[in-house]
Amino acid sequence: MKTEHQTTHPTNCLYSPHNNRTKLFRIVALCGAALVAGIVTYGCSTNEKHDQHATPPPPPMTALPPALPAPASEEAKLAWFKDAKFGLFIHWGLYSIPAGDWNGKRVPGIGEWIMHNAPIPVTQYEQLAKQFDPEQFDAEKWVQMAEDSGMKYIVITSKHHDGFAMYHSHVSPYNIYDATPFHRDPIRELAEACARHHMKFGFYYSQSQDWHEPGGMGNTNDFGPDAIKDTDGAYDKYLREKAEPQVAELLQNYGPVCLIWFDTARMMNVNGRGEAFMDLVHKYQPACLIDGRLGVAGDYVSTGDNTIPNESQNGKYWETPATVNHTWGFRKDDTDWKSPGDIVFKLVDIVSKGGNYLLNVGPTSRGVVPQECQSNLLSVGRWLKSYGEVVYGAGPSPFGEEFGQFVKTKDHNGKEVFLARNDWRCTTKPGKLYFTLFNIPRDGMIDLPDFKNEITRAYIVGEPQTPVLIDRTNDVRVAHVTRNGPNAIAYPICLEISGDKVEK
Ligand code: H79
């Protein structure tokens, strides 16, 4: 029996939710695959060699821990997030195959938008699934990379705007397990690796845009104007039959979910659409955070993509999602990786303004994070290994003048331009001020901002035995450091002060 949904779908479209014929085929194929896997793994008593190019079997499934219990308060719910500061964002999907090119032409824009930007009709785009076989994917390596880079949580695209689920969904066969030769669930493998590493794990899920479904937002080429879908019931049908059940799957089958990262909310603020997602999260994973882009209030504020606020934010906690080059999904023409120094600056800058840094990588269609990008992240990780105390669990700057100031120059909106200063940033813990220095003058003299507390001790972070001389010139306290300190990236000093609160 055809569902209403299928009748509105293009007739030659391969995958649609709840397609019973596909389901039956899947079961048969699955049994076959299981039999073959059984033979390959256990059935061979001789040392016969099998096809050496065959995809290695997935690691055996291990049990995942249950969801975490409801925290006592909103503050308690956010506690891990506030301490973590630095997370790994992963954008991985079918778009990593064209990697920025379509029909031999370079398609400008962010890589994961290629279907929209080229544009590629849904019937062509979904064919990519047949080629998706990331044989080098190794969940353990990705989680190890995040850990070695000093990241404390991982958020991966479970479904981006293209509508393709990167996990084994039972809601729609348009997913990596059923529709590709890879026939594995990388999100499950990542969830297991994260559990082994005590790494927090969460999902990006594009709730509004879904370019594969007639009722999803954003695919006006194949499915007409969004405004019509919004009012004729198609959007609500998509939300009820795909988006909500998929989010429920992710919340039920992948162990503890630290956060859900919704994105590009469209028409979420009506008919209880946003609240329906919120209710699912609260029902299945009461400790799971909701980002700031669901369309109804989440647990923290998400800034614009690649946007770091000029100054500390009052009130809600926040996070900047950012690219490590200029795209989220892999593009073969973008190798302009941010340097380790730039990443450390941005991280300390963000922490000093009271936020988190969610830094993205886009793995290739073979399942690999480009080497140069990894190597930069690992340099950041080495810096954090020595100086992480200035970042993890640290509070924002009690000052503010170090961020820069608005100047008289006006931008095209008539707004005053903010002239940033990047010489130093300050982060805090009770009784301690950490000054991370990014620009040390030749004389090594750093003017401290004005505050009254006595400085009881000053030293290079991690080396309390190496004192930093503090004296006073013209009533300004000055720290004396050597240029090009122990680590060229950034030089953090710790000032222990009397009292927990900075007195100005
Ligand atoms: O997942 C990443 C992006 O794909 C997603 N948010 C981050 C985390 C995102 N969705 N929408 N946007 C970002 C804004 C997109 C704007 C643009 Fe375009 C897409 C500019 C160029 C391509 C749409 C199409 C607007 C102009 C052309």
Annotate 214-237 with DSSP letters as a single string.
TTSBS-HHHH--HHHHHHSSHHHH
Q: Which residues line ligand 1 (CB under 6 A)?
A: 91, 109-110, 112-113, 116-117, 263-264, 305, 321, 328
Question: What is the average pLDDT score of the chain?
Answer: 90
List CB contacts of 29: < 8 A, sequence separation 6 or more: none
Q: How far is the CA of 113 from the centre of ligand 1 (A)?
A: 7
Single-letter amino acid, residue 491: Y
Q: Do residues 431 and 495 touch, judged by C-beta distance below 8 A?
A: no
437 φ, ψ (degrees, to nearest 5)? -100, 125
Q: How confident is the model at residue 26 (pLDDT cuts 50, 70, 90)?
A: very low
Residues 247, 206: Cα–Cα separation, whole Å: 10
Q: What is the mean pLDDT of residues 95-111?
A: 98
Measured in Å, residue 1 CA sits from the centre of ligand 1 at 37
Which atom of ligand 1 is found nearest the CA of 89?
8
326 vs 489 pLDDT, higher one: 326
328: CA distance to ligand 1 center in Å?
A: 10
Q: 483 C-alpha to center of ligand 1: Å?
A: 42
pLDDT of residue 290: 98
Ligand 1 atom nearest to CA at 110: 22
What pLDDT, on the 0 to 100 scale, is given for residue 460? 93
The pLDDT assigned to 23 comes to 41
Local confidence band at 12 (pLDDT 50, 70, 90 cut-offs): very low
Which residue lies with its CA nearest to atom 10 of ligand 1?
Answer: 264
| Number of CB atoms found within 10 A of residue 483's CB | 11
Instruction: Give the residue, by CA position, lying nearest to ligand 1 atom 3.
Output: 328
The yes-or-no verdict on residue 31 having pLDDT over 60 is no
Out of 160, 305, 323, give the residue to mutate to test ligand 1, the one with the largest number of ligand atoms within 8 Å of its CB: 305
Taking the C-alpha atoms of residue 149 and residue 337, their distance in angstroms, rounded to an integer, is: 15
- Residue 49, CB half-sphere, CA atoms under 13 Å: how many? 3
Q: Kindly state the tokens that stand for 361.
A: 């990588």
Residue with more model confidence, 373 or 13: 373
- Amino acid identity of residue 472, one-letter, is R
Q: What is the pLDDT of residue 485?
A: 55
- pLDDT value of position 56: 59
**For residue 487, what pLDDT is reported?**
57
Atom of ligand 1 at shortest range from CA of 157: 1
H helix and E strand count, the chain: 15, 20
Nearest atom in ligand 1 to the alpha carbon of residue 112 is 4
**pLDDT for position 201:** 98
- Give dist(CA 391, CA 353) in Å, integer: 11
The pLDDT of residue 347: 98
Among residues 137, 183, 176, 186, the alpha carbon closest in space to that of 33 is found at: 183
pLDDT in tens, 359-410: 999 999 999 999 999 999 999 999 999 999 999 999 999 999 999 999 999 9
**How confident is the model at residue 14, as a pLDDT?**
55
pLDDT at 431 over 90: yes
Is residue 52 pLDDT above 70, yes or no?
A: no
